Amino acid sequence: QVQLQESGPGLVKPSETLSLTCRVSGASVSSGNYYWSWIRQPPGKRPEWIGYIFYTGSTNYNPSLESRVSISADKSKNQFSLRLSSVTAADTAVYYCARDALDGVDYWGQGTLVTVSS
Amino acid sequence: DIQMTQSPSTLSASVGDRVTITCRASQNINIWLAWYQQKPGKAPNLLIYKASTLESGVPSRFSGSGSGAEFTLTISSLQPDDFATYYCQQYNTYSRTFGQGTKVEIK
| pLDDT reported for residue A47 | 98
Chosen from A66, A103, A106, A110 to mutate, greatest number of chain B CBs within 10 A = A103
| pLDDT reported for residue B67 | 98
DSSP assignment, residue A91?
G
| pLDDT reported for residue B61 | 98
Each residue of B4-62: pLDDT tens digit?
999 999 999 999 999 999 999 999 999 999 999 999 999 999 999 999 999 999 999 99
Per-residue pLDDT, averaged over B61-66, amounts to 98
Per-residue pLDDT, averaged over A83-112, amounts to 97
Distance from C-alpha of B7 to C-alpha of B72, rounded to nearest angstrom? 10
Q: Is-cis flag, bond preceding B8, omega within 30?
A: yes
| pLDDT reported for residue A95 | 98
The answer on pLDDT for B82 being more than 90 is: yes
Pick from B43, B87, B97: CB nearest A108: B43
| pLDDT reported for residue A32 | 79
| pLDDT reported for residue A91 | 98
Each residue of A40-76: pLDDT tens digit?
999 999 999 999 999 999 999 999 999 999 999 999 9
CA distances from A17 to A8, A62, A87, A90, B23 (A): 12, 17, 6, 14, 35
Chosen from B42, B46, B91, B96 to mutate, greatest number of chain A CBs within 10 A = B96
Pick from B43, B91, B98: CB nearest A46: B98
Distance from C-alpha of A69 to C-alpha of A82, rounded to nearest angstrom? 7
Residues of A in contact with B99 (CB under 8 A): 46
Per-residue pLDDT, averaged over B76-89, amounts to 97
DSSP track, chain B: ---EEEE-SEEEE-TT--EEEEEEESS--TT-EEEEEE-TTS--EEEEETTTEEPTT--TTEEEEEETTEEEEEESS--GGG-SEEEEEE-SSSS-EE---EEEEE-
Distance from C-alpha of A64 to C-alpha of A50, rounded to nearest angstrom? 9
The answer on pLDDT for B64 being more than 90 is: yes
Distance from C-alpha of B43 to C-alpha of B45, rounded to nearest angstrom? 6
Residues of A in contact with B51 (CB under 8 A): none
Closest CA to B46 of B30, B23, B28, B64: B64
The answer on pLDDT for B93 being more than 90 is: no
| pLDDT reported for residue A31 | 82
Q: Which of A28-37, A70-79, A109-118 has the lowest mean pLDDT?
A: A28-37
Which residues have a Cβ under 8 Å from the Cβ of A67 and sit 6 or more positions away?
none
Residues in chain B whose Cβ is within 8 Å of chain A: 1, 34, 36, 43-46, 48-50, 53, 55, 87, 89, 91, 94-101
Closest CA to B45 of A76, A110, A73: A110
SS3 A29: coil
The answer on pLDDT for A27 being more than 90 is: yes
